[in-house]
Amino acid sequence: MTMPAPPSPVHWRLNPEVYRLIGMRCKDCGHITYPRRKVCPKCGSFNTENHKLSKKGTVHTYCINYVLPPEIEPPAPIAIVDLEGGGKFQGLFTEVAKPEDVKIGAKVELVLRKILTSRGIAMYGYKVRLVEEG
């Protein structure tokens, strides 16, 4: 099984991205991406800066996964979120009572949650939660 291994250089290196949602904004074309990059993936500019992603957004598209890697319980909705202020986020939902509640255009927020345990170490990251309207 090829699974992400938290006690690995990759996870340690990406600490600011994983816990503080630090992405990149291109000062030339305005593209926002995640994780950070030294070269803008859209236009190739070197003129980039750190950009903290918003934790609020709306569901751009989603799916509900029934055949999952170990430790993730089906049905698991996964969203691509359009974030306020630009940029996208892709993540698993949390606290969904019924998968049918997930809709394109639904307002969501990113919340820090345990994702899975690997080699005895708890792996945390951001999940997506529906925001109650009102």
Partner 1 sequence: MESIRGKVAIIGVGMIPFGEHFEKSMEDMAQETYINCIKSVDKGIEPKKDIKAAWLGNLGRLFGAGAMSGSWLATQIGNTGIPITRIESGCPTGSDTLRHAIFGVASGMYDVVLALGAEKMREKPGTESLIALGTIGLGGHPSWTWGSTAPAMQAVYATRQMYELGYTMETFARVAVKNHHNGKLCPFAHYRYEVTIEDVLRSPMVCWPLHLLDCCPQTDGAAAVIVCRADLAKNYTDKPVYVLGTHVGLDHSFYWDKHNFIEMLATVRAANGAFDMAGIKREEVDFAEVHDCFTNTEVMNYEDIGFCKKGEGGPRLMEGYFDIDGPLPIQPSGGLKAHGHPIAATGISQICECFWQLREEAGDRQVKLKNGIALQHNVGGAGFGVSCVTITSRNP
What DSSP letter does each residue of 88-133 carry, written as one string? EEEEEB-S-S-GGG--TT-EEEEEEEEEEEETTEEEEEEEEEEPPP
Q: Does 91 bind partner 1 (CB under 8 A)?
A: yes
* Residue of 3, 29, 39, 131 that binds Zn ion (CB under 5 A): 29
Whether the Cβ atoms of residue 85 and residue 52 lie closer than 8 Å to each other = no
| Pairwise CA distance, residues 61 & 102, whole Å | 10
Helix (H, G, I), strand (E, B) or coil at 17: helix
Nearer to partner 1, 2 or 134 (CB): 2
Per-residue binding string, partner 1, 65-84, x by CB under 8 A, is xxxxx--x--xx-x-x----
Q: Does 88 bind partner 1 (CB under 8 A)?
A: yes
* Residue of 26, 51, 126, 130 that binds partner 1 (CB under 8 A): 126
Nearer to partner 1, 31 or 134 (CB): 31
Site for Zn ion in 30-49 (CB under 5 A): 31, 40, 42-43, 45
* Residue of 35, 119, 121, 131 that binds partner 1 (CB under 8 A): 35
Q: Please, what is the Cα angle at 14 between 129 and 48, to 5 degrees?
A: 95
